[in-house]
Amino acid sequence: MAVDVAKITYHVDLITETGAVYDLDRALLSLSWEEQEGQLAQRAALKLANCKMESGYLMQLVKINCIIKISANCGSGSQLLFQGTIWEWDYKSAQNKELTITAYDPMIRLQQSKDFKYFSAGMSTTAILNNICGDWGVPLSYKWSKQITHEKKVFNCDAVSDMIIKLLDEVKQQTSSQYVALYKDGGLVISDYGTNSDVYQFNTDNSISTSDKLTINNLVTRVKIIGKADNEGRSSVDAVIDGNLEYGVLQEVVRRDSNKKIGEANAEAQAILKERGKPEESIMLNSADLPFLRRGDAVGVAAGNLVGTFYVIGVSHNATSKQMTMTLRRKE
């Protein structure tokens, strides 16, 4: 689908504690929002002039926990991009009289809240996630094609979002598959990468800059599987699995307790070697803004030394400059 970025318009509404709706467009000095890898919540940052509204000055209306809605229109109708609550509020009454606010979508409450959870061995990924999300009143849509049966899980005063990410990372390791977790349509959606129907194309005409970096800082070429410790703390070596030793031995350890079978430990070791067994690549692309693009989307790129299909693992949108910065991963 072709989009004329020059025709994209942005719109911001404030919904106050009384339910009154205010158009913030004429007060906007800057507007951006982002969602990054490892974070469930979207974050929006706005800078506003303290304009006089019909019910008083803006700084009197914009309060903590009020709702911010960001939408955009590219000619085919308005589309909601972000809806969240004001989390930080900063007013400076100097000459410019500016108000700076930070807002997050509802997943911020899972990132900022801790809980204790115990799950017995043998529960499925979806069963555990439904329990966690149900306790917090978060609708869950599990669309990822992968899930596993987990060993005993004990979360001791962990952030709720960390529980979810740790659980999904365990599935990722054992299945050698990637997932994306984000807030969408009023709930937490967990899915495969690249489920978007419109795959946008980026080339030298609409790309501003590219960056492609390789490092072996996180490389693993050997995994040692360690058995359960005896009463004196000694552990047996159950297996040693080598990957590509071209870069020498860089070793990771998988510890196997009584609930983890050797086959499961071997699968985990193989997943580690698949994920970290080659130099780590960091790819960034700065381009004209497509405000509808989200983390997890597939995009086509033919710019700089980047050619092919890539997945968006992080994205920052800047409505002021009408540019965005994407962190990408190659589709394997």
Write out the chain's pLDDT in tens, 332 residues: 567 777 899 999 999 999 999 999 999 999 999 999 989 999 999 999 998 888 788 889 999 999 999 999 987 789 999 999 999 999 887 667 899 999 999 999 999 999 999 999 999 999 999 999 999 999 999 999 999 999 899 999 999 999 999 999 999 988 888 999 999 999 999 999 999 998 999 999 899 999 999 999 999 999 999 988 888 878 889 999 999 999 999 999 999 877 778 888 888 898 889 889 999 999 999 999 999 999 999 999 999 999 999 999 999 999 999 999 999 999 98
Q: What are the φ/ψ torsions at residue 222 (nearest 5 degrees)? A: -145, 140
Question: Which residue shows structure tokens 């004196």?
Answer: 232
Across 220-331, the runs of DSSP E, i.e. the strands, are 222-226, 237-242, 251-255, 280-288, 298-303, 306-318, 323-330
What span, in angstroms and rounded, lies between the C-alpha atoms of 32 and 107?
Answer: 18
- For 53, the enclosing helix (H) or strand (E) is strand 52-53
Per-domain residue ranges of the chain = 5-105, 110-191, 200-215+280-330, 222-276
What span, in angstroms and rounded, lies between the C-alpha atoms of 171 and 191?
Answer: 12
Distances (CA, A) of 259 to 151, 162, 169, 228, 264: 6, 22, 18, 10, 10
Q: Cβ of 253: how many Cβ atoms within 10 Å? A: 13
Q: For residue 5, give the amino acid letter.
A: V
Alpha helical stretches, state H, the chain: 58-61, 108-111, 125-135, 160-175, 262-276
| Predicted pLDDT at 62 | 93
The domain defined by 5-105 folds into: Thrombin, subunit H (2.40.10)
State the DSSP code for 149: B
Q: Which residues pair with 306 in a beta bridge?
A: 303
The residue count for the chain: 332
Considering the entire predicted model, what is its pTM?
Answer: 0.87
Question: Quick check: helix, strand or coil at residue 6?
Answer: helix
Domain 200-215+280-330 top-level CATH class: mainly beta
Across 145-221, the runs of DSSP E, i.e. the strands, are 153-159, 180-184, 187-191, 200-203, 207-215
State the DSSP code for 160: H
Domain 110-191 top-level CATH class: alpha beta
